[in-house]
Amino acid sequence: MHIEHVRNGFPLGSAMSKEILTNPAYQRWFTSRFTVTTFENEMKWYSTEAIPGQEDYSVPDAMVRFAKSHGIAVRGHNIFWDDPSTQMGWVKALSGEQLRRATAKRIKSVMSRYAGQVIAWDVVNENLHFDFFEGRFGWEASAAFYRKAHQMDAGALMSMNEFNTLEQPGDLTVVPGKYLRKLWQIKAFPGNGNAARMAIGLEGHFSAQPNIPYIRAALDTMSQANAPIWLTEIDVAPGPDQARHLEQILREVYAHPAVHGIILWTAWHPQGCYVMCLTDNNFKNLPAGDIVDKLIREWKTRSHVGVADADGYYETELFHGDYKVTVTHPAANSTVAQSLSVDKESDNEFTIHCVKEPEKPLYGGGILKDMKDTEAKASAGGKKLLSAKTKSAPVKGSVLKVELKKDHHYALSAWLQLSKGTGDIRAVLVTPDGKFNTAGVIVAQSGCWTMLKGGATSYAAGKGDLFFETNVTAEVMAEGMALQPFSFDEWNDHRTESIKKERTKKVKITVEGADGEALANAEVKLERVAKGFPLGNAMTKEILDKPEYEKWFTSRFQYATLENEMKWYSTEYHQNKEDYRVADKMVELAEKYNISLRGHNVFWDDQTAQMKWVSKLSVPQLKEAMAKRLKNVVTRYAGKVIHWDVVNENLHFNFFESKLGEDASAQIFRDVAKLDDKPILFMNEFNTIEQPNDPAPLPTKYLAKLKKIREYPGNADLKYGIGLESHFATPNIPYMRGSLDTLAQAKVPIWLTEVEVTKSNKQVEYLEEVMREGFAHPGVKGIVLWAAWHAKGCYVMCLTDNNFKNLPVGDAIDKLLHEWKAGHSGKTDSKGVLEAEIFHGEYSVTVKHHKLKDHCVQTVDFDSKAEAKIKAP
């Protein structure tokens, strides 16, 4: 067995200047070394809109294309810079309202352009040292920018980028404690609580001999935030010891477990670098460059040769990264080569559902079915494009030109595989308005076909582009591609048909008198009183002291989730001091009104959701504390909840797995089921249907994690459910439908567990679209809104004001509640029969007839039956 390291896993990069676009020598030198970059100045506001209203992204566009073509990840630097000296004169001259409009335009412009194409955003640069925007808008300005940035590109890290936190212990403005306080202030701002993508950016501009013990201690302090730390702009001032000091710094930060990446601030310019150069103008290394090259070689596993044991296993230690594994055997006449990716989070046993032969394209290929080879224009490199009829041609780097219609949803499907190894494949649909829409992402491998289902929406008519890209060094192969257009009306019609098929049934009611005589022309009224499709909302402890809140909630919802009150940090904030009183009272209230409860949650895998005492426990102590928590919460509410969110968000986070091993989640599922085997057990996760640009919770990865949990010893027969939180900004409805189709393959109930839409002038419209799409999908068995009322404001979305008068969003929900429980009125025919089509549920059936002294009322469960006989007294 021969193992060759082909790409480093730890991100090590350098800043890049626009000179790289026109200098082949610079290109060769840079791309042979670095896997990640930051544009030095080219993406900054003053570079893209030096004159108000005259935006120019041509240079950063070209740099992004260059980086992507060489597999180099890009950090977005920056959206705003808080330093007053970096603001254009026209920005400084704006009034408060004008500046609000200008900043809103800037964040929308730059982020919509590069969303999904950068791995991180420096949102407000250096906002501990400076306060230009806070000075104009108030202390909440930065936090509001972070919230908007997260909404625009939830898949990227949102970074606070600052200097001197590591470099200068004497700079009291940015000591680690103040940095963390600012970070927590941003995270505590309404709408930022789900700040899973926050990161710590430490510039690292060192001017003298580095204080290595201080660097280590500062990193230890910063790591308490449980957010990835990046060194974003490392340089060392010139001097005889520059190279030696650089090596000391790089080794120290590389060794720290909380540091996830390093960028050097060494963009090349012919007139000289900012502070530190790695190369001269002939691209011959300077001493600092030699140090960087030495470390790149050192942190890359040398070619490795070994022999498998008698069982065919071979174990070794490797640096994180991408590997080529070549296997030969004396009994075989051939050599097998396979790609392998090794990283911190992966157990390298990922299972992909794939088939040996792809199926025929859906919709007959849609608008792709009639494309001829001559219509498939070549992209850079002159490759012939893949049409729906072409046999297994590579499509990486190729672009299909498609004609798109205005105000149409496009459903995309394709059977994909890689020419070698395993990796992510992303489908991108570029609409005529220039927007890059991620239409779907899957994990694929070589040797078999995996189906991608997704789509995007075009709000403009004209030429568009469809292409595929991958995060590994392999060709993308495709067959059975289809791109089917639907006008908004056609899409809604399909949804209506699905609702009719999945949520309604035809029923037959026969009405007879006491003597068995058929009562013709009897007036029959059906009113749904219970059951039916589960639609609920989150609930807060304020409901216990607010009768008007209680009345408002219980008149609408038959299902609920306690927002925080059942979580571990709410019931045992201080070790061994458990307090379930609030949760108990809320459970009692739910029982009083016959409201079904979801148990949320047993454990939460997010590091930031752990109490300090939990984070400090040794492994044996943690196991003991977890066993106590699991037993106490599950046995206390056994028989009182219909679901358990067992390990919350365990695709994004891994607190318990990192402490107890990769099977921790599976073991927790098993232990919960032993104590309470009636409820459905959920993996509850965000961004699986909301954000195709977030690689962590892709539908294929969700299914693989669920499969791994199910295959753990003792877990095969547990009751599983798929929990999709559904925190939406701007929903991609075709992608949502395609993702639900993919997840439905697991054949377990899907619930949308925390539905909300961020505030905008289209919030109501977007919410209704999400609700109708979820309600129409046959795999979705229930929906819970994440709109718990708080006197100080809701998490993101409120249905009512503080007087419990509906807001527009609340009116939209009431409209759907009314629509989805609509009853029926009619008269029986000559045989005393009434036939109707109604929503599933339990109904009160009222009969009036002139032969009856009084009307007759009977309850009928039309969930379990389709016919009923009403015998009047």
- Reference 127, options 61, 74, 173; nearest CA is 173
The per-residue pLDDT for 188 is: 73
Please check whether residue 656 is in contact with residue 626, taking contact to mean a CB–CB distance below 8 angstroms: yes
Across 179-208, average pLDDT: 81
Q: Dump the DSSP string for 699-722.
A: HHHHHHHHHHHHTSTT-TTS-EEE
* Active site members: 649, 754
Q: What are the structural domain ranges in the chain?
A: 11-298, 362-491, 513-528+822-871, 534-805
CB atoms within 10 A of CB 801: 11
What is the rounded radius of gyration, in angstroms, for the C-alpha atoms of the chain?
A: 30
Across 409-418, average pLDDT: 94
Tokens encoding 317: 């230690």
Across 827-848, average pLDDT: 95
Position 388 pLDDT exceeds 60: no
Q: How far apart are CA 318 and CA 781, in angstroms?
A: 44
CB atoms within 10 A of CB 394: 17
Position 350 pLDDT exceeds 70: no
Across 739-753, average pLDDT: 96
Task: Compute the mean pLDDT over every residue in the chain, rounded to the nearest whole number.
Answer: 89
Whole-number percent of the chain with pLDDT over 90 = 71
Domain 534-805: CATH architecture, name and number where available: Alpha-Beta Barrel (3.20)
Position 469 pLDDT exceeds 90: no
The per-residue pLDDT for 390 is: 31
Using 50, 70 and 90 to split pLDDT, how confident is the model at 546? Answer: very high
pLDDT in tens, 598-641: 999 999 998 888 999 999 999 999 999 999 999 999 999 999 99
pLDDT in tens, 89-104: 999 999 999 999 999 9
Q: How far apart are CA 742 and CA 695, in angstroms?
A: 16
- Reference 103, options 153, 58, 148, 59; nearest CA is 148
> What Å distances lie between residue 382 and 364, 377, 395, 425, 704, CA to CA?
28, 9, 12, 21, 37
The per-residue pLDDT for 302 is: 56
Tokens encoding 557: 């919802």
Task: Please state the separation of Cα 618 from the chain's center in Å.
Answer: 31
Q: Do domains 11-298 and 534-805 have the same CATH topology?
A: yes
pLDDT in tens, 17-29: 999 999 999 999 9
Q: Dump the DSSP string for 348-392.
A: S------BSSPPPPGGGGBTTTT--GGGS---TT-PPPP-TTS-S
The per-residue pLDDT for 383 is: 27
- Reference 702, options 640, 779, 641, 776; nearest CA is 779
Q: How far apart are CA 655 and CA 697, in angstroms?
A: 16
In 657-758, DSSP assigns E strands to 680-685, 720-724, 727-728, 750-757
Using 50, 70 and 90 to split pLDDT, how confident is the model at 377? Answer: very low
Please check whether residue 316 is in contact with residue 303, taking contact to mean a CB–CB distance below 8 angstroms: no
Using 50, 70 and 90 to split pLDDT, how confident is the model at 370? Answer: low
Tokens encoding 139: 């202390």
Place of tokens 């606070």: 160
Tell me if residue 72 falls in helix, strand or coil: coil
Domain 11-298 has CATH 3.20.20.80: yes
CB atoms within 10 A of CB 690: 26
CATH label, 362-491, candidates 3.40.50.720, 2.40.50.140, 2.60.120.260, 1.20.1050.10 = 2.60.120.260
The per-residue pLDDT for 287 is: 96
Global pTM reads 0.66
Q: Dump the DSSP string for 176-245.
A: HHHHHHHHHHHHHSTT-TT-TTEEEEE--EE-SS--HHHHHHHHHHHGGG-S-EEEEEEEE-SSTTHHHH
Position 207 pLDDT exceeds 70: yes
Tokens encoding 113: 């352009």
Fold of 513-528+822-871: Immunoglobulin-like (2.60.40)
Please check whether residue 697 is in contact with residue 194, taking contact to mean a CB–CB distance below 8 angstroms: no
